[in-house]
């Protein structure tokens, strides 16, 4: 077919060409999506029963680890010395100045009061015990600041779970939690 | 070196019948019998064949192991122990498979360093080299996911750390990590999809190997002199010369492989992986398999923020960048001379690079503390400098040694130098004038 023949019926040919092409693109994209979508967390993973924890047995200086969303949550009744050490840190000395506390706004600062369970419960620290570097579980009451130390790549956290040294970029995350009574915490 | 025409002539009626309908015998004959190879190939050119049989061995042992393995977090560890204790010959098949992965990587590293030394990546073999890099990437993905399947402590925490790389990506990082894991942490969905992909990827490797061999047969093999084949006297037939040399090297390689399987089957593994995975307890010291160690050292070398890039993203970028260097290597080297044999300065830097790579691997097995950290940083710097500074600059300022006019001349010169041993010449067919 020569070039001049093609000009005989440009409208029908162009229409078929474009329509087929568009159907192909839209079709491929809509077929591809379920194959990607199935990889996301499924309903049973998302149906997160919140965990209720009895913390009445935790005297100052004791910790508890509970599993939530497949990850460990550290609940620590901090000693007055630990609270004091965390409160004395100046904000400008922190690598990450944000609280990373899901119970507060995203702009809350990493002052100790906003990392802890709040006024009157400053001794309580609840956080996801996962190093913000590459997801290892830090070891408690170790490292230079007497907080947590990640054995994988050497990140050091202080007694408020704030990153002080090493490759981790953020403070350990505080999950949504609340005291449902004086001795019970609900995580999630 | 494809001469353009085929010398295959079927001898039987059946052969002619096939040749007229689907000339597969002709393809095999032209590719693996009559195919001309440079007469001066040394034993470093045998790893292509060795890698092929390692891939076949991994696929066969893998399929058999999959018949006994269960990809469920509550059963996986036990099913592997069952393979070791109850399944007939299961211990042997699993040790062949786990050590086979290591030996696959030993062979591929020697193959890669051969290419680096003799400049096999230079025009017109850039695409051949890039296809090889893709195979290497697929191998790393396959090896990583295979290591997760036994569901030991190193499996679990290795998977946690490596999928954690993706959280370093700004904005969409967490979403991507959850997409990979199928949850918020490594768990049953992760194990299941890793098993499915671990089964799939070797066949994709086989597919890219076909392209790799195709590209090789278009450009022809490089050789120790790095000079292109110019005449028929520069080559010998693939069979018997290359076939026998490859087969002999395979036997020697498999002997070493067998020694590891039977006498030190866990030497290349990690004892922590014989402890069942515990999501609430990280082992004191996480290390990946040995073949990832140099990249692991590069990941951990970045302990500081670089402008807007925090140390975590920086480490991940450096690690992937280290692999990306291999992909762009053909366009970084400015020298027209291929082989290090004729490049005195390149030869020196090549050996420094090789020693540095091994040193990085050793550092990768050490904890990130003390003097290891600055050592990792200096080593990482040299790794990148080799590609980004040494290779481009050396090609411009280095004076290469005089190149022989042809492969034949190079071989005969070498033969003349060693003319005190005429018996040696008889045993070395490539040196016959």
**CATH, residue B349:** 1.10.287
Mutate to test the interface with B, among A152, A154, A156, A188 (most CBs of B within 10 A): A152
> Which residue among B277, B311, B336 closes a domain?
B277
Of A40, A138, A151, the CB nearest to B179: A40
Compute the distance between CA of residue B182 and CA of residue A44 in angstroms, rounded to an integer: 11
Residue B7 inside a domain? The answer is no
Find the length of chain B. Answer: 433
Looking at the fold, whether B88 and B192 belong to one and the same domain comes out as: yes
For chain B, which residues score pLDDT lower than 70? 1-4, 418-433
Mutate to test the interface with A, among B73, B280, B307 (most CBs of A within 10 A): B280
Residue B9 inside a domain? The answer is no
Compute the distance between CA of residue A110 and CA of residue A91 in angstroms, rounded to an integer: 7
User: What ipTM goes with this model?
Assistant: 0.74
Q: Is the omega angle on the peptide bond into residue B240 within 30 degrees of 0, that is, cis?
A: yes
Of B182, B282, B283, the CB nearest to A41: B182
Q: Catalytic: which of A27, A153, A169, A180? A: A153
A-chain residues within 8 Å CB-CB of B285?
151-152
Note if A8 is an active site residue: no
Using the beta-carbon criterion (under 8 Å), do A133 and B178 form an inter-chain contact? no
Looking at the fold, whether B260 and B134 belong to one and the same domain comes out as: yes
Compute the distance between CA of residue B280 and CA of residue B349 in angstroms, rounded to an integer: 46
Residue B6 inside a domain? The answer is no
Query: Which pLDDT does position B138 carry in this prediction?
Result: 97
Q: What is the pLDDT of residues B299-338, one digit of tens each?
A: 989 888 888 888 889 999 999 999 999 999 999 999 999 9
Query: Which pLDDT does position B423 carry in this prediction?
Result: 47
Residue B8 inside a domain? The answer is no
Residue B13 inside a domain? The answer is no
Find the length of chain A. Answer: 188
Looking at the fold, whether B295 and B384 belong to one and the same domain comes out as: yes
For chain A, which residues score pLDDT lower than 70? 1-9, 48-49
Nearest Cα residue in chain A from B160? A135
B116: tokens are 């680096």
Compute the distance between CA of residue A11 and CA of residue A182 in angstroms, rounded to an integer: 77
Domain that holds residue B315: 287-399
Helix (H/G/I), strand (E/B), else coil: A77:
strand
Query: Which pLDDT does position A127 carry in this prediction?
Result: 92
Q: Which ranges in chain A belong to alpha helices (H)?
A: 3-6, 10-37, 43-46, 80-87, 112-115
Compute the distance between CA of residue B116 and CA of residue B330 in angstroms, rounded to an integer: 10
A-chain residues within 8 Å CB-CB of B183?
41, 45, 69-70
Query: Which pLDDT does position B2 carry in this prediction?
Result: 44
Looking at the fold, whether B248 and B230 belong to one and the same domain comes out as: yes
Looking at the fold, whether B293 and B381 belong to one and the same domain comes out as: yes
* 8 A C-beta contact, residue A162 and residue A171: yes
User: For the whole model, what pTM was predicted?
Assistant: 0.86
Residue B1 inside a domain? The answer is no
Cβ atoms < 10 Å from Cβ of B97: 20
A-chain residues within 8 Å CB-CB of B312?
132-134, 167-169
- H or E element, residue A140: strand A139-140
Query: Which pLDDT does position B424 carry in this prediction?
Result: 45
Looking at the fold, whether B186 and B296 belong to one and the same domain comes out as: no
Looking at the fold, whether B196 and B88 belong to one and the same domain comes out as: yes
Looking at the fold, whether B141 and B243 belong to one and the same domain comes out as: yes
For chain B, how big is the Rg over CA atoms in Å?
Answer: 24
Q: Which ranges in B173-278 belong to alpha helices (H)?
A: 173-181, 188-219, 243-263
How many separate domains does chain B show?
Answer: 3
Residue B384 inside a domain? The answer is yes
Q: Is B370 left (phi over 0), alpha (psi -120 to 50) or beta?
A: left
Looking at the fold, whether B344 and B412 belong to one and the same domain comes out as: no
Residues 6+ apart with CB under 8 A from A183: A54, A55, A56
């Amino acid at each position: 077919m020569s070039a001049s023949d093609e000009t005989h019926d440009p409208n029908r040919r162009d229409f078929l060409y474009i329509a087929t092409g568009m159907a192909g693109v839209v079709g491929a994209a809509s077929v591809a999506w379920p194959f990607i979508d199935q990889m996301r967390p499924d309903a049973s993973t998302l149906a997160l029963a919140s965990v209720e924890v009895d913390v009445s047995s935790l005297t100052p200086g004791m910790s508890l680890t509970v599993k939530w969303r497949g990850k460990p949550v550290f609940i620590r009744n901090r000693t007055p010395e630990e609270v004091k050490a965390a409160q004395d840190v100046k904000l400008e000395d922190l690598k990450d100045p944000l609280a990373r506390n899901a119970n507060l706004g995203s702009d809350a600062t990493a002052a100790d009061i906003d990392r802890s369970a709040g006024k009157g419960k400053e001794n309580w620290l609840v956080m996801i015990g996962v190093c913000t570097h590459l997801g290892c579980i830090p070891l408690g009451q170790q490292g230079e600041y007497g907080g947590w130390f990640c054995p994988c790549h050497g990140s050091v956290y202080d007694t408020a779970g704030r990153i002080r040294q090493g490759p981790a970029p953020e403070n350990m995350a505080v999950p949504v939690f609340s005291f449902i009574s004086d001795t019970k915490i609900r995580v999630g | 070196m494809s001469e353009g025409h085929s010398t295959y002539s079927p001898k039987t009626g059946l052969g002619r019948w096939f040749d007229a309908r689907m000339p597969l015998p002709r393809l095999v004959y032209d590719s693996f019998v009559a195919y001309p190879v440079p007469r001066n190939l040394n034993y470093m050119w045998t790893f292509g064949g060795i890698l092929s049989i390692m891939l076949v061995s991994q696929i066969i042992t893998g399929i058999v192991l999959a018949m006994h393995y269960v990809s469920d977090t509550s059963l996986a560890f036990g099913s592997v122990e069952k393979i070791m204790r109850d399944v007939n010959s299961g211990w042997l098949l699993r040790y062949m498979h786990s050590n086979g992965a290591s030996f696959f990587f030993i062979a591929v590293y020697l193959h890669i360093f051969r290419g680096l030394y003799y400049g096999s990546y230079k025009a017109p073999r850039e695409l051949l080299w890039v296809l090889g890099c893709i195979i290497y990437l697929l191998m790393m993905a396959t090896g990583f996911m295979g290591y997760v399947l036994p569901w030991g402590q190193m499996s679990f925490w290795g998977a946690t750390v490596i999928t954690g790389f993706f959280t370093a990506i700004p904005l969409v990082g967490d979403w991507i990590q959850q997409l990979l894991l199928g949850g918020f942490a490594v768990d049953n969905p992760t194990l299941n999809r890793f098993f499915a992909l671990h089964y799939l990827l070797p066949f994709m490797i086989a597919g890219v190997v076909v392209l790799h061999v195709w590209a090789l047969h278009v450009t022809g093999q490089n050789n120790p002199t790095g000079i292109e084949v110019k005449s028929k006297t520069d080559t010998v037939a693939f069979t018997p010369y290359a076939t026998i040399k490859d087969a002999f090297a395979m036997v020697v390689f498999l002997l070493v492989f067998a020694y590891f399987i039977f006498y030190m089957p866990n030497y290349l593994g990690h004892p922590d992986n014989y402890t069942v995975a515990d999501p609430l307890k990280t082992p004191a010291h996480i290390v990946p398999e040995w073949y990832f160690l140099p990249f692991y050292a590069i990941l951990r070398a970045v302990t500081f923020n670089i402008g807007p890039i925090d140390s975590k993203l920086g480490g991940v970028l450096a690690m992937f960048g280290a692999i990306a260097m291999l992909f762009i290597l053909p366009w970084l080297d400015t020298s027209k001379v291929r082989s290090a044999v004729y490049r005195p300065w390149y030869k020196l830097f090549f050996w420094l690079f090789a020693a540095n790579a091994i040193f990085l691997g050793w550092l990768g097995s050490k904890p990130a503390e003390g003097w290891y950290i600055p050592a990792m940083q200096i080593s990482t710097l040299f790794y990148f400098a080799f590609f980004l500074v040494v290779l481009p600059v050396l090609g411009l300022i280095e004076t290469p040694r005089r190149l022989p006019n042809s492969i034949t001349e190079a071989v005969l010169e070498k033969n003349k130098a060693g003319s005190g041993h005429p018996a040696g010449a008889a045993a070395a067919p490539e040196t016959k004038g």
